[in-house]
Structure 1
Amino acid sequence: MSDLDDPASLILFKTHFKHDPEEALSKVHLVAFDLGPETCRSKLVPLLFEYQKSGDDLIKYSIAIAWKTVSKFVGGGLYFKPILLSLEHILSQEEPFVREKGIETFLEIIHDNKSFTCPAIQISLINDTVCPMLKRLANDDWFAAPSSACCLIPKVYPLASPQNQADLLQCYHHMCETTFVLVKLAASRNLKDLFNHIDIEDAISLFWLALKNIANDTQDRVRIEALESCISFGKRCTNEQNESFNMPILKDAMQDQSWRVRKQSSSLLKQIYSTFGAKLVDTHLSGHICQLMNDKVEWVRSQAIESFVQCAKILESESIELYKKQIMMLPVDANPENRKHAVSILAIIAQDLNICRVYIKSILNILINDNHHTVKLALLNSLNLFQGELAIEDEIIHRLLNELKTSTSWRVRLSLVKEIEVLIKERIINYNFSGIILELLLDHVYKVRISTIDILSKLKDVSNWDCKELFNNLCVALENNKLPPAIQQACGHQGSLNYKLRITIIKALTVLHDQDEYAVKVLNLAVKDPVPNVKTAAEEALEFICSGNNCAKDTPGEPISQLTDKFNMLTVKYSDESACSSVASTQIMNTVSGDSGEMIAE
């Protein structure tokens, strides 16, 4: 190929490639567009093939990407053959990331329907070019090419002719029996996709014994891949065939010596039940599933318990009874995540199990006293499922909420705030949350207080929650600078409210200002507060209330205009008492949103 005969864009590409191959390949679409289809086929495609043979792995990777780009400029699917044959070199590379990119590009090209003017061209390309190439890859004497063939055959098989399909199945069967571990691993990993396309007769005659051998392989990573293939195979079989072919494979996997295989079988419990049916699984595998839920290896046990949460949603009472003993042991598991999943399982199946109320109550008491907050939060979110015939008492709910709200970790209390929002909105339990919300508003951690105010803005219009009690208690607290005696005893908050809590109450009243007469009264008192930040927060709250369409009056019959004038006079009156009041009206709503704003007055 003489450079003198090359177009200028191709000469520039060659020069650029010598100095920076990857950058040059990223611009190959510009070169291909300039060359046109005929020159692209005659000069650019052979040039890239030469480059990929002599380049390192990174260049091969970049060229694998470039082939997809070039395929759009050669004139359609009729001219894909040279590109696909060039990709055969990429598919035979030992470096996995090069092969994987080559496989991705190969599949994108042969399934690019826009490039084929009619289906016949695509079918012809598959049978005349792709299938012979896959046979060569499958019969190669090194692991790289057969590994690529294992990935490609399940994708190409549906488009191949009957004769080519038979040949491809024979090639795949040969790769399942190979001594190359990496090839067998690729074959077992992709066998599940092949089962979706082949006839059940071919699956049984060619691959059942191969699947059994894979499941008994000495390498645990190969045995792991056999499990999903077993499930895919089971979808095509009858109950009698599954009982003979697949149940023994799954049973062996659940008691495999390798914890990795047992963990993988644990992760597939829901798929196993969905595929083979409860009757077959209960008969052959229920005992082994119980063993997985009590496995000595923590990772296996946790995976089995987590997967059983999903199974519990689809199982009937008869199946649940088989796991009753194991389920009852979960609340005392050493792992808090397992105890959390135990809550979910018990909540789902409590109504189905023949368990007396006393026993359920004892389990709930254990969970309420759990020293890990995620367990308690999970229980709180599942209480509605425990109710109904079980009729969980308010005393248990109150104890649970008390355990969470008195936690020494502020993050637990913050999580409680978020859970309360869900509980009220979705009417999960019938409980008056006003007292709990008031205590969270008085929390000593700012983030808990501001999050509580945030949920108040979302909950005040919820039809099933009456905020009047909370509103009245807040007004009384702000008016008297201390909580009502009954609330003090419940909250454990004695004495006067500090300025941070007064600001929080003002913000909460701003959100709950539907009861405007009382709100304006106490806010007018708060305007006289000696702490500038409290005073300015009250001024802003009054302005917000008075600017609304449903503004309440300070006294019955007082016009809104007079109330606004009163507010303006109060603002002027106190404008000289604090150096920050001149900027407070523009800063206070921002500064009180952080602890720094609350500390200014100090």
Structure 2
Amino acid sequence: MDGAFENKSTDNDGSDEIFISICDVNRKRYNSYIKLYNFNNNNIKMASTPESDDYHPIVILIDELKNDDIQLRLNSIRKLQSIAKALGPERTRSELIPYLQDSVLEDEDEVLVALAEELGKLTDFVGGNEHATCLLPPLQMLAGAEEVVVREKAVDALNKICSELSQSAFEDCFLPLLLNLSKADWFTSRTSACGLLTVAYPRASSEMKKNLRKTFSTLCHDDTPMVRRAAATHLGNFSKQIEKDAVKSEMLPLFTFLASDEQDSVRLLGVENCAIIGSMLSNEENIQHILPILKSSAQDKSWRVRYMVARLFKELCDSMGQEITKSELVGSFVKLLKDTEAEVRTEAAQRVTEVCALISKDMSVKNILPCVKDLVSDVSQHVRAALAQVIMGLCPIFGKDDTLQYLLELFLQLLKDDFPDVRLNIISKLDAVNKVIGIEMLSQSLLPAIVELAEDQQWRVRLAIIDYIPLLASQLGVEFFDEKLGNLCMTWLGDPVFSIREAATNNLKKLTEVFGVEWAKSNIIPKVLTLHSHPNYLYRMTTLFSIGVLSPVVGSDVIASSMIPLLTKMVTDKVPNIRFNVAKTFQIIIPLLDSTIVQSRVKPSLLKLLEDPDKDVKFYANQALQLC
């Protein structure tokens, strides 16, 4: 067999090395197939036992591990627990795990991700915690994979197994694995080591804890930015496991070092650590160690770092405390609200209400409000949309008088914004304004803008208005509603967008629940029923939808007196869609009616539909007749 891999080329143009590389790959594949052949032979012997019917699927699963179809290999990996259970703990440890380690670890990333997940679940199938160390070697190899997701899943599995190991197994097997990863030549293994330290540290001896802190320090100073980034990611959680004295003497210098890294991808991770480590220190220590880094990050030359500060500003304020927030951090927040990058302003705008809740109203009016006024007319629509999401939350903080004085004009400006998402965000939070300024002021100042939005070109804006109408109606009262908004509700029933018509019919039901059946009988039902003769079949369809929605609310008397005569007329509609929706509407109202009315007035119409030439009409008519 070796002769098949001999290099017969005599050229010196570099093809020798290429051919040798190909031969190496082929030799690895050949060895893998030999191992698989032996492994499958063992399982064929196992399958020849009296229980072969039970084991045959396991043989197939094992065989699929070498299939060219990645989906078959994935399916087999996902069933590793079944394979291991059939093999038993001893054979799983001695055959399956070594086979997976030798043959599958060069597979596609998708397969490796699944393998890492499944290996973390095999502890019980290899004989329990005392034998779980056999799972460490393949996971160590996966922890050094090139693909990030594979490494993350391997680290998760290793952390899970670490918590299950006995103390002796932890010291004899897991710690050496961690140290080996931290000293590996390839950076991928070193990044994985960063994720294992947090779990390993609490179980280590005092002497080993010193070693682990030194290892972490080495990783923080690694030449490769990816390793430093991984160290920065885990610095905060690792610090939580460490004694406070060690945090001050060892972790704070590392935190400072990473926060000033030349790579912005490392520095931005330091922002999150500001919040974590800051929560572990006193106010004086925060002012001395954390605050300078935080303020520096808020003015970092990289917008991504400033973005991270804006994103985590509430958490940073909580960790620093109210006094530091008022005296030091408000100024940094104002700079973020005025940042040159729209992404930073967007993230800062979303934190406006949260920050104002932490400081006094006077400070909010003096420092934050001028920035908010600028953001309302910001050149970026995303900034304005982000502000519209939260600006209503300022009403309870400012109170009624200051809301009317400072905020109402800003609300109106956002309600008239050109970008539909801005208008949507404002509309969805109108109830917060009503609770503060009252319905009278709301109706005088904001209602005209709301009515204007009811005819907005963007159907999503109209839909948002419809969803808000029942709440607004309950606050306005029936007289004011009939005068200002009643006609709007009928207009939406004929909207060209189906979602609007559907929402409008559901809206009628909610309004009936608010104002009562008598109001619906005199204000809604007559107007809805007149649409049954409209030339456009969509309007006639809306009549049917409205009957279906309103009938459970208005009661059997209204159904019998107003709705059944209308449905009887529409049985002969020229459009098949209308006729089979008549049958579907009958299905809704039949359970609500007396049996006498059903037999005398509903059944004849359904029998007529049953003779319809359209098969769909017949189908729904037959379904309705079964209810009769």
The question of a shared fold, defined as TM-score above 0.5 by the shorter chain, is answered with: yes
From 462, 466, 472, the counterpart of 1:413: 462
Aligned to 1:355: 402
Aligned to 2:239: 195
2:417 to 367, 370, 373: 370
Q: Write the letter of the residue equivalent to 1:334.
A: V
Q: Any idea what SS the aligned residue of 1:72 has?
A: helix
Range 61-70 or range 508-517, more displaced:
61-70
Deviation digits for residues 122-152 of structure 1, max 9, x if unmatched? 2222223222332333234542332221110
Q: 1:213 to 1:338 in 2, by over 3 A?
A: same
Secondary structure in 2 aligned to 1:323? helix
The one-letter amino acid of 2:456's match is S
1:90: how far off? 4.0
Identify the match of residue 492 of structure 2 among 437, 440, 460. 440
Q: Aligned pair 1:109/2:161, yes or no?
A: yes
**Matched pairs, number:** 554
CA distance in 2, matches of 1:444, 1:238: 62
Tell me which of 593, 597, 600 is aligned to 1:565: 600
| Larger deviation, residues 250-259 vs 399-408 | 399-408
Q: Does residue 380 of structure 1 match 2:427?
A: yes
Q: Which amino acid aligns with 2:378?
A: D
Q: 1:390 to 1:102 in 2, by over 3 A?
A: closer
Tell me if 1:450 matches 2:484. Answer: no
- The answer for the alignment partner of 2:191 in structure 1 is 147
Moved more, 397-406 or 60-69: 60-69
Shift of 1:402: 1.5
Structure 1 residues 428, 98: closer, same or farther in 2, change over 3 A? same
1: CA distance between counterparts of 2:132 and 2:579?
A: 78
Segments of 5+ residues of structure 1 without an aligned counterpart are: 117-121, 483-494, 552-559, 591-602
Equivalent in the alignment of 1:229? 273
SS of 2:350's partner is: helix
Q: 1:185 aligns with which of 224, 229, 239?
A: 229
**Alpha-carbon offset, residue 443 of structure 1:** 2.6
Alpha-carbon displacement from aligned partner over 1:143-179 (angstroms, at most 9, x marks no partner): 2332221110112111222221121111111211222
Quick one: distance in 1 between partners of 2:565 and 2:80?
75
Distance 2:472 2:266 in 1: 46
C-alpha displacement of 1:539: 8.6
1:282-301 paired onto structure 2 within 5 Å: 282-301=326-345
Superposed CA offset, 1:263-282 (max 9, x none): 11111012112222232122
Aligned equivalent of 1:162: 206
Among 132, 137, 142, which residue is 1:80 paired with?
132
Q: Whole-Å Cα distance in 1 between the matches of residues 598 and 86 of structure 2?
A: 76
**Which residue number corresponds to residue 174 of structure 2?**
130
Check conservation: 1:575, 1:582, Cα contact below 8 A.
no
Residues 319-349 of structure 1 show CA distances to partners (whole Å, capped at 9, x for unaligned) of: 5333121122222122334323333433222
Q: 1:185·1:225 contact (CA, 8 Å) conserved in 2?
A: yes
1:100 Cα deviation after fit: 3.2
- Answer yes or no: is the 8 Å Cα contact 1:10–1:31 preserved in 2: no
In structure 2, how many angstroms separate the alpha carbons of the residues matched to 1:281 and 1:305? 17
- Please name the residue that 1:330 is paired with: 375
User: Partners in 2 of 1:89 and 1:143 — Cα distance?
Assistant: 13
**Alignment TM-score, normalising by the size of structure 2:** 0.75
Residue type at the aligned position of 2:213: L
Report sequence identity in percent.
21
Partners of 1:50 and 1:562 in 2: how far apart? 78
Shift of 1:226: 0.9
Q: Residues 161, 506 of structure 1: CA spacing in aligned structure 2 closer, same or farther, 3 A cutoff? A: same
Distance 1:300 1:262 in 2: 7
Deviation at 1:536, TM superposition (A): 8.4
CA deviations 1:2-40 (Å, max 9, x no partner) are: 999998228898995995498476676566445544455
Over 3 Å counting, the alpha-carbon distance change for 1:188 and 1:422 in structure 2 is farther
Matched, 1:501 2:501: no
Contact 1:57 1:98 in 2 (8 A): no
Mapped contact 1:93–1:144 kept (Cα < 8 A): yes
Q: What aligned pairs does 1:530-569 form with structure 2 within 5 A after superposition?
A: 531-532=573-574, 548=592, 561=596, 565=600
* 2:556–2:592 Cα contact (<8 Å) kept: no
If the length of structure 1 is used for normalisation, what is the TM-score?
A: 0.78
Q: Which of 395, 398, 401 is residue 450 of structure 2 equivalent to? A: 401
Of 10-19 and 201-210, deviating more is 10-19
Moved more, 444-453 or 399-408: 444-453
Instruction: Note closer, same or farther for the CA distance 1:227–1:569 as it changes in structure 2 (3 Å cut).
Output: closer
Q: In the TM superposition, what is the alpha-carbon distance from 1:465 to its structure 2 partner? A: 3.8
Q: Which moved more, 1:1-10 or 1:286-295?
A: 1-10
Matches of 2:622 and 2:383, distance apart in 1: 44
137-146 vs 298-307, greater mean Cα deviation? 137-146
Q: Is the 8 A contact 1:575 1:581 kept in 2?
A: no
The offset of 1:379, in angstroms, is 2.4
Q: How far apart are 1:261 and its partner, in Å?
A: 0.8
Q: Distance between the aligned counterparts of 1:40 and 1:567, measured in 2?
A: 70
The residue that corresponds to 1:244 in the other structure is: 288
Between the aligned partners of 2:557 and 2:541, the Cα distance in structure 1 is 19
Aligned to 2:7: none
Moved more, 3-12 or 495-504: 3-12
Whole-angstrom CA distance in 2 between matches of 1:40 and 1:477: 75
Paired residues of 1:92 and 1:144 also in contact (CA < 8 A): yes
| Counterpart for residue 390 of structure 2 | 345
Judged with a 3 Å threshold, the aligned counterparts in structure 2 of structure 1 residues 311 and 8 are, in CA distance, closer, same or farther, namely: same
CA distance in 1, matches of 2:612, 2:491: 33
Equivalent pair of 2:198/2:238 in contact (CA under 8 Å):
yes
Structure ranking higher in helix proportion: 2
Q: Distance in 1 between matches of 2:80 and 2:528?
A: 72
Aligned match of 1:477 in 522, 527, 530?
527
Cα offset for 1:291?
A: 1.5
> Does the 8 Å contact 1:139/1:146 carry over to 2?
yes
In structure 1, the residue matched to 2:25 is: none
Q: Distance in 1 between matches of 2:322 and 2:358?
A: 9
Distance 2:558 2:63 in 1: 79
| Deviation at residue 393 of structure 1 after TM alignment | 3.7
Partner of 1:599: none
Please name the residue that 1:268 is paired with.
312
Amino acid of the structure 1 residue aligned with 2:42: A
Structure 1 CA distance for aligned equivalents of residues 426 and 227 of structure 2:
48
Shift of 1:187: 0.7
User: C-alpha displacement at 1:262, in angstroms?
Assistant: 0.9
Distance change in 2, residues 1:443/1:52 (3 Å) = closer
Residue 517 and residue 111 in structure 1: after superposition, are their counterparts in 2 closer, same or farther (change >3 A)?
Answer: same
How many angstroms apart in 2 are the aligned matches of 1:332 and 1:222? 34
AA at the equivalent of 1:139: K
Give the whole-Å Cα distance in 1 for the aligned partners of 2:67 and 2:583.
67
